[in-house]
Structure 1
């Protein structure tokens, strides 16, 4: 948003540092690993006619982990894409209420997704779901996705409270 509401951050600075270190570091490592895997796969495929076995499966699992690792980070820093064409026309109090309602709606939707993924985690553990080629268990990735969605929902609820009840700096 382009308007400054002087709102306290939803996540305390120390917690934000740990979020950035853990999830941001994980995302960076995964992105680098995906790059190396793709490079090795392409070189092996085109020059030696030997692709990385299961490279596609590994990339799929890493991509899911990468995407869900970023959700709490983006929510904690309010880094979601926002179109604020009419924001200047809305009074500050109304804008804060609107922003809080949006955060709460997003938290509710994220909570529903987390609930459904928690069910899916139980199913993948129960069925022993694995990838087709390398037989990598899927449940750890689904459990990680669930945990990051829960964290994201909590962050969004906190953001709504911070927007509605700002503390003076």
Structure 2
């Protein structure tokens, strides 16, 4: 079961990384296009390039239409795509000033409670995303510039949020079993300790 959950979390994180990389390229191209467009509209650009400036402007050189709408939807997906991997690898930041002085049993109890709370919150987030997606579908809301249905962004984010909730429940079950059996199933290492 752990291999399946870990594999799903890794693939979702990779997909989130590819989306984030595409958004970075999109943003850079859009900013570059905006800068070139501004230069071509300036007196300096028109003076240096003459009629070529008008020709370039007529080809549509400029920012990518709706870039911020795509970035908004893509970043929302990427955030949810990284949560399952962070959850299963125990990659969340921890501050153990107090807990480092406690025994193994107390730390297992705290870890169990934290994982259960995470699972509940992730389920709640997924449920709220589903409700929001259904609302956007019902009312047919679209983005301002690109006019794509807003529920599409909710749907892709929901897919990652559902996986995050599944991984959260899995980790809560694992940590609960660890607490009650006294044996380690998944090593709790890997977090960003502070």
TM-score, L = length of structure 2: 0.74
Of 48, 51, 61 in structure 1, the residue corresponding to residue 73 of structure 2 is 61
Instruction: Establish whether residue 20 from structure 1 lines up as the match of residue 10 from structure 2.
Output: yes
Q: Which residue number in structure 2 is paired with residue 119 of structure 1?
A: 131
Q: Which residue number in structure 2 is paired with residue 45 of structure 1?
A: 34
Q: Which residue number in structure 2 is paired with residue 99 of structure 1?
A: 111
Q: How does 1:158-169 map to 2 (within 5 A)?
A: 158-166=170-178
Structure 2 CA distance for aligned equivalents of residues 110 and 14 of structure 1:
19
RMSD of aligned residue pairs (Cα, Å): 1.9
1:48-72 C-alpha deviation (Å, 9 max, x unpaired)? 2321111111111111111111111
TM-score, L = length of structure 1: 0.84
Q: Which residue number in structure 2 is paired with residue 30 of structure 1?
A: 19
Deviation at 1:97, TM superposition (A): 1.0
* Contact 2:13/2:84 (8 A) holds in 1: no
Q: Which runs of 4+ in 1 moved over 4 A?
A: none
Stretches of structure 1 lacking an aligned partner (at least 5 in a row): 1-10
* Contact 2:115/2:171 (8 A) holds in 1: yes
1:144-163 C-alpha deviation (Å, 9 max, x unpaired)? 32232232223222212222
Q: How does 1:125-136 map to 2 (within 5 A)?
A: 125-136=137-148
Aligned pairs, how many?
A: 158
Stretches of structure 2 lacking an aligned partner (at least 5 in a row): 39-61, 186-194
Relative contact order higher in (CA < 8 Å, ≥ 6 apart): 1
Of 162, 165, 171 in structure 2, the residue corresponding to residue 150 of structure 1 is 162
